[in-house]
Structure 1
């Protein structure tokens, strides 16, 4: 299990990308967890989003969201450096 946890709601628009495969291949310290619901009712249908170490990351497009997730991961990993 990684030191950075990325949680994704099954209904999130971010799921148009295979972020689990992308993130876990690029960052061995990351664990991606998919959940039925993350209790942010409605946001998953409006914008792509995920939780990175319990911090919400969202954007207008899945690609932009993935870039923001990567930036947040880098920020979290810098804490452990």
Structure 2
């Protein structure tokens, strides 16, 4: 089984939901890392986003972003199936 890294900026609007607990409970293969800055200047203040294994995922709302993150996690896990 592989490992999926989800990185979030501590200023990201995705933090409106408890993404770390949700994803880590749902997917044992996932580790959520919070950084002070992911070097995508300004995007964290405009819309929720995260990096999933280095791929940028963003949406208009935190809930939409979480759904897209889950889809990307599923796609990444297919590689290890």
Q: If the TM-score is normalised by the length of the shorter chain, which range does it land in?
A: over 0.9
Q: Distance in 2 between matches of 1:67 and 1:8?
A: 15
Normalised TM-score (structure 1):
0.97
Shift of 1:5: 0.1
Within a 5 Å distance, the mapping from 1:2-81 to structure 2 comes to 3-81=3-81
Normalised TM-score (structure 2):
0.97
Following TM superposition, where does structure 1 have runs of at least 4 consecutive aligned residues deviating by more than 6 angstroms? none
**Where does structure 1 lack aligned partners over 5 or more consecutive residues?**
none
Shift of 1:42: 0.3
Q: Deviations over 1:21-72 (max 9, x none)?
A: 0000000000000000000000000010000000000000000000000000
Q: Distance in 1 between matches of 2:58 and 2:27?
A: 20
